[in-house]
Chain A
Amino acid sequence: MRESCLKMVYELAKTDERVVFIGSDLGVGVLSEFKKDIPSRFFMEGVSEQNLVGVAAGMALEGRIVYLNTIATFLSRRCYEQVAVDLCLHNVNVRLIANGGGVVYAPLGPTHLAIEDLAIMRALPNMTIVAPADAVEMVRFMKVSVDHPGPIYIRVAKGHDPVVTTDTGPFVIGKAVPMRDGDEVLIATTGIGLQVSLAAAEKLATAGIRAAVLHFPTVKPLDTIALHEHVKQAAVVVSVEEHTVIGGLGSAIAEDLAEADLLSGRRFKRFGIPDVFPKGYGDQTGMLRKYGVSAENVAEQVKALLVGRPGQTIRVAA
């Protein structure tokens, strides 16, 4: 997904003179073609995220469209004031390409995990947040990223993730994507949570439970129209995300549904990292599984929620 994303920056730069790339201290050879072909608009400026965001803002105030790339946690935590003031207050066209959103860097430990990036970016006015599920969706998004007004936080997954999206048309920023129909359960998800959610829905189907999967590649602005439409059929609503349960997609949905009075009579649960710094190392999938973000756990918990509903007939397969 990262490679596809960066390759698209080069493609966009070839046809649009406004496009500029800024990296911090990325891996050797990143965008070498871009650097060779368009050196005046390629910048690799060192481990200095506060400065990078300010520089990107300065260029964008002059009409450039700046794609700024480094590791997600350094692009969210380290320079949060710059993101808030330089990008969001000025509402400039800077696209933050955040490598390793979530627990991609599980082997590297908690300093490298971006598990609250969606929460802190959501809190900023003017910020758009996008978390594609796979490389195909990323490419579709990148094509429309150029002319979108204001800053965008682009959460990038690990790379070589299975392609699970099926749309081929233009990506629409702010639109949720129905991935599976079902009138008993709604699983709302974003990013690579889509893989987990589709697998969980499949497991539920084998137990005779009809679960819809609604994918939110745009976390902000939230597509509340699609959300309300899908919630109306469901007795159980859950969110699945590679993120702390505080402030991410699950929180966004809960806030919206509570205010729209669409939670009453329904069971609701967020699947994500609990309120801890994740412990241990291993890999992304193992780390997610440890904290319950797995198809097996989501399916089991959803069954329990269905059983626990007042007046609900127990219909879980033995």
Chain B
Amino acid sequence: MTASPRLDERSKHFRRVIVRVLQKARRGHVGAAFSLIEILRVLYDDVLCFNPQNPRWTGRDRCILSKGHGCLALYAILADKGYFPETELERFCAPDGILGGHPEAGKVPGVEASTGALGHGLPIGLGMALHLRIAKSDSRVFVILGDGECNEGSVWEAAMCAGKHGLTNLTAIVDYNKHQSYASTREVQDLEPFADKWRSFGFGVREVDGHDVPALRVALATPFVEGKPSALICHTIKGKGAKFAENNMKWHHKNKVTDQEVDALLAAIEEA
């Protein structure tokens, strides 16, 4: 892979928004959220059909953040799109807030399914994709998975089932930052040969730099192979955008975030 691209102003903006949330809540899955931002912004800026004024509009595309712990990135983008006021972000993890440490459907407008327990999003997305096929809808379903999440057997049960049904309308996107909570994916549970696994389950597969916005736009624009579900493996950097936090397991989930750390993150984002 070539060097990871520099971040543009919009990517930096979302990272700053997340840092401000951390400053208020003093906690959050920073690494996972920073890893995801370009995937989510391309989906919501360039790919998905949706209507924030009518989140349940039947003609929408469905997007499930199966790696629910990356929710800070999703919240920042949903607020940007007008699903809820940006001031709601200030109540992240508050007792009476709607934005929890994992996203909940029915509470957060725009969230299709409650996730957090890993391995649930792909089966649910598969059920939605099957429904849309019965209903003869041309809406697409996108499910964003973590790499550690792909340790779960339910992911592969769903992959096998999606392959059998040849669901062109379903796209699995893996945020492959090569790190899970304890250590590298290679050390904890090696996923390689990862693309071959998805291919052998009946998916059309592509790989992309998950921080390369133009490349993501191209990859997500259309399904890869007619008659097959798509799997887009996004090579990402955990904590991307704050050099000292990149691939640093201390920043997978951060508690008791200090003002000094907030300042350091904001300064690092400007350099990214």
The chain A residues found within 8 Å of chain B, CB to CB, are 20, 40-41, 43, 45-46, 48, 50-64, 81-82, 85-86, 89-90
The answer on a CB contact under 8 Å between B124 and A58 is: yes
Q: Given contacts A40-B134, A58-B131, A62-B131, are A46 and B126 in contact (CB under 8 A)?
A: no
Bound Cα distance from A55 to B126, whole angstroms: 6
Q: Given contacts A40-B134, A51-B123, A62-B132, are A45 and B112 in contact (CB under 8 A)?
A: no
Q: Given contacts A41-B134, A90-B105, are A55 and B114 in contact (CB under 8 A)?
A: no
In the complex, residue of chain A having the shortest beta-carbon distance to the beta carbon of B131 = A62
The answer on a CB contact under 8 Å between A58 and B161 is: no
The answer on a CB contact under 8 Å between A58 and B105 is: no
Assess whether B154 is interfacial by the CB under 8 Å rule: yes
Which of B113, B119, B123, B135 is the most central at the interface, judged by chain A CB atoms within 10 Å of its CB?
B123
The answer on a CB contact under 8 Å between B130 and A51 is: no
The answer on a CB contact under 8 Å between A51 and B117 is: no
Bound Cα distance from A56 to B120, whole angstroms: 12
The answer on a CB contact under 8 Å between A45 and B161 is: yes
The answer on a CB contact under 8 Å between B161 and A48 is: yes
Which of B122, B127, B158 is the most central at the interface, judged by chain A CB atoms within 10 Å of its CB?
B127
The answer on a CB contact under 8 Å between B119 and A59 is: no
Bound Cα distance from A82 to B154, whole angstroms: 10
The chain B residues found within 8 Å of chain A, CB to CB, are 105-106, 112-114, 117, 119-120, 122-132, 134-135, 153-154, 157-158, 160-161, 164
Option from B117, B128, B131 in Cβ contact (under 8 Å) with A81: B117
Bound Cα distance from A62 to B122, whole angstroms: 15
Which of A46, A51, A61, A89 is the most central at the interface, judged by chain B CB atoms within 10 Å of its CB?
A51
Q: Given contacts A40-B134, A86-B123, are A54 and B154 in contact (CB under 8 A)?
A: yes
Which of A59, A64, A81, A90 is the most central at the interface, judged by chain B CB atoms within 10 Å of its CB?
A59
The answer on a CB contact under 8 Å between A61 and B113 is: yes
Q: Which residues of B contact A48 (CB under 8 A)?
A: 157, 160-161
Q: Which residues of A contact B132 (CB under 8 A)?
A: 62
The answer on a CB contact under 8 Å between A50 and B153 is: yes
Q: Given contacts A48-B157, A50-B157, are A58 and B134 in contact (CB under 8 A)?
A: no
B231 to chain A minimum Cβ distance, whole angstroms, is: 16
Q: Which residues of B contact A54 (CB under 8 A)?
A: 120, 122-124, 126-127, 154, 158
The answer on a CB contact under 8 Å between B160 and A58 is: no
Option from A45, A59, A85, A90 in Cβ contact (under 8 Å) with B128: A59
Top 6 closest A-B pairs, CB basis? A58-B127, A54-B123, A51-B157, A48-B157, A55-B127, A50-B154
Q: Which residues of A contact B120 (CB under 8 A)?
A: 54, 81-82, 85-86
- 21 interchain pairs (CB within 8 A)? A45-B164, A50-B157, A51-B160, A54-B122, A54-B154, A55-B123, A56-B127, A57-B113, A58-B127, A58-B129, A59-B127, A59-B130, A60-B127, A61-B105, A62-B131, A63-B131, A81-B117, A85-B120, A86-B120, A90-B106, A90-B113
Option from B113, B117, B124 in Cβ contact (under 8 Å) with A55: B124
A71 to chain B minimum Cβ distance, whole angstroms, is: 17
Q: Give me 8 other A-B pairs in contact (C-beta within 8 A), A54-B122, A61-B105, A86-B113 excluded.
A: A48-B161, A54-B123, A57-B127, A58-B128, A63-B131, A81-B120, A86-B120, A86-B123
A91 to chain B minimum Cβ distance, whole angstroms, is: 8
Bound Cα distance from A55 to B160, whole angstroms: 13
The answer on a CB contact under 8 Å between A62 and B128 is: yes
Q: Which residues of A contact B122 (CB under 8 A)?
A: 54
Bound Cα distance from A90 to B117, whole angstroms: 14
Q: Which residues of B contact A52 (CB under 8 A)?
A: 123
Bound Cα distance from A58 to B154, whole angstroms: 14
In the complex, residue of chain A having the shortest beta-carbon distance to the beta carbon of B137 = A62
Bound Cα distance from A24 to B132, whole angstroms: 21
The answer on a CB contact under 8 Å between A61 and B112 is: yes
B111 to chain A minimum Cβ distance, whole angstroms, is: 11
Option from A50, A58, A63 in Cβ contact (under 8 Å) with B130: A58
The answer on a CB contact under 8 Å between B123 and A58 is: yes
Q: Which residues of B contact A64 (CB under 8 A)?
A: 131
Bound Cα distance from A86 to B118, whole angstroms: 12
The answer on a CB contact under 8 Å between B160 and A61 is: no
Q: Given contacts A61-B112, A89-B114, A90-B114, are A55 and B161 in contact (CB under 8 A)?
A: yes
A55 to chain B minimum Cβ distance, whole angstroms, is: 4
Q: Which residues of A contact B123 (CB under 8 A)?
A: 50-55, 57-58, 82, 86
Bound Cα distance from A116 to B55, whole angstroms: 40
B131 to chain A minimum Cβ distance, whole angstroms, is: 4
B220 to chain A minimum Cβ distance, whole angstroms, is: 21
The answer on a CB contact under 8 Å between B161 and A61 is: no
B158 to chain A minimum Cβ distance, whole angstroms, is: 5
Q: Which residues of A contact B158 (CB under 8 A)?
A: 51, 54-55
Bound Cα distance from A41 to B126, whole angstroms: 14
Q: Which residues of A contact B126 (CB under 8 A)?
A: 51, 54-55, 58
Q: Which residues of B contact A51 (CB under 8 A)?
A: 123, 126, 154, 157-158, 160-161
A79 to chain B minimum Cβ distance, whole angstroms, is: 8
Which of A20, A60, A86 is the most central at the interface, judged by chain B CB atoms within 10 Å of its CB?
A86
The answer on a CB contact under 8 Å between B131 and A59 is: yes
Q: Which residues of A contact B154 (CB under 8 A)?
A: 50-51, 54, 82
Q: Given contacts A41-B134, A54-B122, are A85 and B127 in contact (CB under 8 A)?
A: no
